[in-house]
Structure 1
Amino acid sequence: MVFGTDGNTLFAGTSAGEILRWDTGDPTALHTLSPLRGHSKQVDSLAVSPKRGLLASASVDGQVRLWKATGTTPVATLRAAPYTSDSFGPIRPVHRIAFDSAGGLLAAPAEEPKKKDPLASSDDLALWTLDDPRAPRQVVAADKGVSSGGTRCSDSVTSMAFASKSKRIVASCGGGWKTWIYTYGTDAVLPGAQNTINGSHGGVALFVPGNAEQLLKATDRGVQVWDLSNGAQPGAVGFIPPAPGTGGQLSLAMSGKRLLLAYQGVGMNWLRDLDLRHLRSNPLATTVAPDMFTGQDIALSPDGKLLADAEVYKQGKETYANLFLRSTASPKQKLGMIEVNNGVGALAYSPTKPLLAVSDYNGLVASNPKPQVVRLYDIADPRHPRHLSTIKTTGYGLGFSPDGSSLVMNEAAKGDTKAARPTAGPLVHSWDVTDPAHPSASWSVRLPTGTDYAQFAFRPDGKLFALYDDTGTLRLWDVRRDRLVGPPVKVSIGRLDGPLAFSPDGTRLALIAPSGDYDRRPEVWDVSDPDSPTRQFYMPAASAFYSLAFTPDGKTLAVVRASAGIDLWDAEPQHVIADLCNAVGDPISEQDWKKYLPDRPYQPPCQ
């Protein structure tokens, strides 16, 4: 139902395809007007143009009709998406069509043509200008839409709305939402922010009146409030483009008073100078990066003075990669080069000495012409890196202990990996590198059969070791005298999909965890009590995340999001708690408090 702009005429769609009308000028004596006829199926959505005197109606078969609000004959007929129940259940459509505040634009869902799956329900945006209501002009055609680059809704659209003072459009689809922005100057529609809420039944999505940067989304878990001031990732305090390449890694370090960020881009490595106070990033240098298999890592030295990154070169028809050392003060200049035979699989700087560990392997097994090894280099003079020793194993991940005495690496699963039937899981192996010219095997942990890979991290004080494998198990060991002590504390989280990162104070552990059947999300766990780790908070889900790291002050968490860029999140627990309290209020009432804690004064967490 919807009221006309005169405030007196009430319209209501029916299952028979009619639009009933009443004059409510006298609420005590409603006057029935003649119905509007033209639809052959149920009318599921109605919208009134604020300034053009138009009524738009949509039926479940995808037919959209435009009417003069005072007339009984449609002035135009348009085609939109038919309505199908979304994947979360039979949510009835409520406002699948919408006018902008000036009444010159009409938005509706437009399905992708020629769907391979006739039962699929993912809608594009269709948009018409109404300079002449009798001949609406479609800006985003249903057969072209804005479907490239992941801009389609994730499910059937159940509501659509414009922001009151901008041309930003939001669609509620399934449990999530999707936004677009229309620009008059270019007569184009640009994809905006989106979010999918797994396992949540969706409802109406609306902008806060007068504020295009705040979105209200109704779900079966309550009304959510989203901050869209950062359009690339709502809720994040910052965003850094361009999109990293598949599997892109990042590295953070302080160089004097500068915060530096290095990361792998799409065919390009980047070094940026971050200013978190003003949420700006200044590109310092770019280099041509290898593919995701030949160059899989990038690293800044602990003091932020050196950057190690892989760069491609060609020899005849073949493409190879070398590892270069650069000064972050003049990053376009190469100081020294380290030759690799296969590729750069992983990198690690020692935190206590001028030592660099390099895993020489290519992610494509057939592209490793020589044995895969880990090499240690003395980089006291980065212009002339000196080879110290070689460990004959494949290091799928490298990391030094905080005191620099041990180098830990992942080694391959044992057995016939080509037949995908290893007889044992991967080996996490520690090497004593007190004398890096003569490394010696120290402790090792063999993961169970069925485990393909794992990620690990040391707590900054070196007294806790975290190991997270792809079966979804997080293990925490005490470390004494460079050895793992006793059985680990085990926590079942869900399938691993990225690295681990401790906060600088060692009380929090960031990781990438599953969210639903297909998506992933960054999570932060409280490990201040390693015997009882607890999930502290998590960020919105996406299809994939590749890497994450805390800033040196622990206040910000940088996360590499697939096909997007790097999101910067406020990681201070007190700020996160305050935001949650503002959104949901106190989770326990005074009555419930007295019921469960009768001997304690009422002290809810949000007060």
Structure 2
Amino acid sequence: MALTPNGHVLAAATGATAHTLRLWDLTDPARPHELSTLGLGGDAVTALATSADGRYLAAGTKRGAIELWDVSAPRAPRQLAALPGHRGEVDSLVFSPTRPTLASSGADHKVRLWDVSASGRQPSATVDGFHGDMQRSSAYRPVAHRLAFTSDGAILATPGDGNNSVLRFWSTAPGKRPRQLAAPTSDEGPTDLCVDNLLSVSFSPDNGVLATVCSDSYGQGRDQLWQTHSMADVTPVHTLSGVNESFNGPAVFAPSGRVLLHATGAGVQQWDTGDPYQPGAAGSYGAHPDGFDVALAFSPGPRRLLAVVGGDSGKVIDVTGQPPHREIAHLPGGYIGAEAAAFSADGKILADSEHIPEGHGKARLVLRLRDTTKAGLPVIATVDGIDRGVHGLAFTPDSHILAVDDNNEDRSANNGRAPTVKLFALTDLAHPRQVAQVPADAFHIAVSPNGRLLIADTDDALLSWNISDPHHPVARPARRLTPGTQVSTGVFRPDGHWLAVGDSSGTFRIFRIADDRIVGDPTTFHVSGYSGETPAFSPDGNTFVLSSVPRDTPIGQGEGSAHLEIWNTRNPRGPLFEASAAFQPDFAISGGNVAFSTDGVLLATTISDSIDVWNVNPSANTDSVCATVGDVITRSQWSRYVPHEAYRPPCARPNVVIPYVTLGSRQGP
């Protein structure tokens, strides 16, 4: 099938053997009617394309010819002289968006360019195409779209040679022979990105994203998104999950630009590729740092900052308001096994774990306080009295006390010193003063919203102290977690009445907090694949989000696929599972941390290779769905199906542009 650019005329090869080509009027899509039938001399159609101005229709055939028609008057199309085409069937056709140039590929492993406005019937250029055979089984015969022009017609994407490259890019300047550009690369190896053959290729209208579909002889394969803003550095940025369906077809971008439509045996999938690094996300901010437990923290206050701190580096991103967002500070990072970040209650101070190189592969592990109100986030104070590294941080609500988990998951970096939790007074920000220290081999710490209860999560125990007097912490009885677990993490519900603690067995316990202590028996629930990463409550406490990587029973997209799990915690005594989301395509060893912005609008995650931010505002998601789907119920349809209700279309703003941002790439910060 092929549509004219205005969407009014559909060309379709019909019949069991595709020997009949018909034109249909789609001016009213609900009432299509046939305009004309085109003769093919008994040959079967294998590819179709219409020119950008809607004048020309090209049909590739099984015998290798390319038939041409002038369909300016679709009720009376005029057949033009046929092009000799290829030796063997034609598998793909595409017109340049800017001139009457047709590109074709065929079973003879050649890609040819034709000037359809010229009187001659010979190709204006021929280049090498894929040197393998396109696999087709008797049960599955894919329709291929293996050629694509950029929207300015300057570059043509074609299949690679099957060995050294999946794709080739050609500069197609008018009057010049096509010139091959650099082939795209991948850490996986150039041919590993296709299971068997390149089936489909499509550029987004802004030329920033390229979508490819690869398929084996049974139609199973993968969809890959590529960054193409710079044709000198085309790199794969995301593999779409859940597309390993039988009978894969081609994928094309909708004219709106951000929506990718993929035809499968199960139906047409729609993908929001506004952020190609993490489809569906509001933005991606480059590869996250290395580390055992990459820290995420949003700042409170009117300015929304996101701090990301790993073992080798860190960054602070200003995500206030609408994109474009920007990185405002680069941080040295803590140390592998000691990564932490926290903001003061007013958002003006960032505390983070950092390391100071001392040469010969050694580093001094320190705590730093930074001023977020000034450019570059200058250092206010450096605290040297750290024994193992800063593995966790928590401010009291008045920001007068900072709790520091002095520990390191990298046991080789502990220098024989005992792990502790230290309390620092911040009455003089330039000179933090340690006022207390308690023994704790903790992986995570948190302070209750009222500032009087400090908790520390060890491998299989929950420790707590009353810190109403921070100079003299009072230990509370320890609570046992699942025996034999290796790590645990606890977070307070924002109302301060509940504490959720998950351990690496996948068991979550929700404890009640009363009189500044943990009371009663906890409510428990189990999450397959949870291994101790930091979860998060929404600011209203009604939603609880965590990451999971199922190992036994495939969930949603399959075993080993990192994703988010969303739980309803309106009643903390009976949390209810609501949904799984953000499935990642590649096998993962562990999940990642999550953090809500203090206004509840954004959710930051590290479950992929990048730092991803999701807009969880329901109204924004409604706009996103409408922008993706683009379907608006008309007034007449509303009257037909909902006759007794006032006309209120769900997508009042169809195809609204939803801003997004991408900083860096998944290949590096």
TM exceeding 0.5:
yes
Is the Cα contact below 8 Å between 1:21 and 1:32 reproduced in 2? no
Q: CA deviation at 1:385?
A: 2.8
Q: Which residue of 114, 117, 137 maps to 2:179?
A: 137
| 1:392 aligned partner, one-letter code | P
Aligned to 1:368: 414
**Structure 1 residue 558 corresponds to structure 2 residue 604:** yes
Classify 1:279/1:134 alpha carbon distance in 2 versus 1 (closer, same or farther; 3 Å): closer
Alignment of 1:431-442 (within 5 A): 431-436=465-470, 437-442=472-477
Classify 1:199/1:242 alpha carbon distance in 2 versus 1 (closer, same or farther; 3 Å): closer
Q: Which residue of 446, 449, 463 maps to 1:399?
A: 446
Q: CA deviation at 1:56?
A: 1.7
Alignment of 1:50-61 (within 5 A): 51-59=99-107
Classify 1:519/1:125 alpha carbon distance in 2 versus 1 (closer, same or farther; 3 Å): farther
Return the alpha-carbon distance in structure 1 between the equivalents of residues 529 and 547 of structure 2: 9
Return the alpha-carbon distance in structure 1 between the equivalents of residues 140 and 410 of structure 2: 46
Q: Which residue of 573, 598, 602 maps to 2:618?
A: 573
Return the alpha-carbon distance in structure 1 between the equivalents of residues 421 and 270 of structure 2: 51
| 1:343 aligned partner, one-letter code | G
Is the Cα contact below 8 Å between 2:443 and 2:457 reproduced in 1? yes
Alignment of 1:405-416 (within 5 A): 405-412=452-459
Aligned to 1:309: 352
Return the alpha-carbon distance in structure 2 between the equivalents of residues 152 and 475 of structure 1: 46
Q: Which residue of 539, 560, 564 maps to 1:522?
A: 564
Return the alpha-carbon distance in structure 2 between the equivalents of residues 158 and 275 of structure 1: 41
Is the Cα contact below 8 Å between 1:406 and 1:431 reproduced in 2? yes
- Across the aligned residues of Structure 1 and Structure 2, the Cα RMSD in angstroms comes to 4.2
| 2:503 aligned partner, one-letter code | D
| 1:147 aligned partner, one-letter code | S
The secondary structure found in structure 1 opposite 2:378 is: strand
Return the alpha-carbon distance in structure 1 between the equivalents of residues 617 and 314 of structure 2: 29
| 2:584 aligned partner, one-letter code | A
Q: Which residue of 255, 262, 265 maps to 2:307?
A: 262
Report which stretch shifted further, 23-32 or 3-12: 23-32
The secondary structure found in structure 2 opposite 1:339 is: coil
Is the Cα contact below 8 Å between 2:335 and 2:365 reproduced in 1? no
Give the aligned length.
550
Q: Deviations over 1:140-188 (max 9, x none)?
A: 23xxx232599998544421123456475322344534133255xxx62
Q: Which residue of 169, 172, 185 maps to 2:213?
A: 172
Is the Cα contact below 8 Å between 1:81 and 1:111 reproduced in 2? yes
Classify 1:292/1:606 alpha carbon distance in 2 versus 1 (closer, same or farther; 3 Å): farther
The secondary structure found in structure 2 opposite 1:576 is: helix
Identity of aligned residues (%): 25
Return the alpha-carbon distance in structure 2 between the equivalents of residues 428 and 90 of structure 1: 57
Q: Deviations over 1:194-228 (max 9, x none)?
A: 3512365253221223x333433334554344444
Alignment of 1:41-52 (within 5 A): 44-49=91-96, 51-52=99-100
Aligned to 2:186: 147
Is the Cα contact below 8 Å between 2:211 and 2:223 reproduced in 1? no
Is the Cα contact below 8 Å between 1:95 and 1:160 reproduced in 2? yes
The secondary structure found in structure 1 opposite 2:250 is: strand
The secondary structure found in structure 1 opposite 2:562 is: strand
Is the Cα contact below 8 Å between 1:213 and 1:229 reproduced in 2? yes
The secondary structure found in structure 1 opposite 2:211 is: strand
Q: CA deviation at 1:508?
A: 0.9
Is the Cα contact below 8 Å between 2:224 and 2:236 reproduced in 1? no
Aligned to 1:38: 87
Q: Which residue of 487, 498, 514 maps to 1:453?
A: 487
Return the alpha-carbon distance in structure 2 between the equivalents of residues 360 and 199 of structure 1: 45
Q: Deviations over 1:562-583 (max 9, x none)?
A: 5433x33221235435644775
The secondary structure found in structure 1 opposite 2:299 is: strand
Q: CA deviation at 1:278?
A: 5.4
Q: Which residue of 331, 340, 353 maps to 1:297?
A: 340
Q: CA deviation at 1:457?
A: 1.5
Return the alpha-carbon distance in structure 2 between the equivalents of residues 478 and 286 of structure 1: 39
Q: Deviations over 1:1-43 (max 9, x none)?
A: 124756355212x4xxx4145566799999996964435xx75
Q: CA deviation at 1:456?
A: 2.4
Q: CA deviation at 1:106?
A: 1.9
Q: CA deviation at 1:501?
A: 0.7
Aligned to 1:110: 160
Return the alpha-carbon distance in structure 1 between the equivalents of residues 514 and 507 of structure 2: 22
Is the Cα contact below 8 Å between 2:595 and 2:604 reproduced in 1? yes
Return the alpha-carbon distance in structure 2 between the equivalents of residues 83 and 351 of structure 1: 66
Q: CA deviation at 1:506?
A: 0.4
Is the Cα contact below 8 Å between 2:406 and 2:422 reproduced in 1? no
Q: Deviations over 1:481-505 (max 9, x none)?
A: 4225335241434334732011111
| 1:223 aligned partner, one-letter code | V
Contiguous gaps of at least 5 residues in structure 1: 115-122, 413-425, 587-600
The secondary structure found in structure 2 opposite 1:188 is: coil
TM-score (normalised: structure 1): 0.76
Classify 1:29/1:353 alpha carbon distance in 2 versus 1 (closer, same or farther; 3 Å): closer
Q: Which residue of 316, 321, 325 maps to 2:369?
A: 325
| 1:97 aligned partner, one-letter code | L
Aligned to 2:388: 342
TM-score (normalised: structure 2): 0.70
Return the alpha-carbon distance in structure 2 between the equivalents of residues 474 and 298 of structure 1: 24
Q: CA deviation at 1:321?
A: 1.2
| 2:282 aligned partner, one-letter code | V
Is the Cα contact below 8 Å between 1:48 and 1:54 reproduced in 2? yes
Aligned to 1:161: 202
Return the alpha-carbon distance in structure 2 between the equivalents of residues 497 and 81 of structure 1: 49
Is the Cα contact below 8 Å between 1:125 and 1:146 reproduced in 2? no
**Structure 1 residue 502 corresponds to structure 2 residue 534:** no
Q: CA deviation at 1:299?
A: 1.6
Aligned to 2:431: 384
Return the alpha-carbon distance in structure 2 between the equivalents of residues 34 and 580 of structure 1: 44
Is the Cα contact below 8 Å between 2:563 and 2:607 reproduced in 1? no
Classify 1:375/1:455 alpha carbon distance in 2 versus 1 (closer, same or farther; 3 Å): closer
Classify 1:72/1:526 alpha carbon distance in 2 versus 1 (closer, same or farther; 3 Å): same
Aligned to 1:181: 228
| 1:159 aligned partner, one-letter code | S
Return the alpha-carbon distance in structure 2 between the equivalents of residues 10 and 575 of structure 1: 43
Q: CA deviation at 1:107?
A: 0.6
Return the alpha-carbon distance in structure 1 between the equivalents of residues 393 and 304 of structure 2: 20
Greater strand fraction, Structure 1 or Structure 2: 1
Q: Deviations over 1:41-89 (max 9, x none)?
A: x754343446354342144x9x333154664779524143746779xx9
Return the alpha-carbon distance in structure 1 between the equivalents of residues 394 and 534 of structure 2: 14
Classify 1:383/1:176 alpha carbon distance in 2 versus 1 (closer, same or farther; 3 Å): same
**Structure 1 residue 223 corresponds to structure 2 residue 268:** yes
Classify 1:470/1:95 alpha carbon distance in 2 versus 1 (closer, same or farther; 3 Å): farther
Is the Cα contact below 8 Å between 2:49 and 2:93 reproduced in 1? no
The secondary structure found in structure 2 opposite 1:254 is: coil
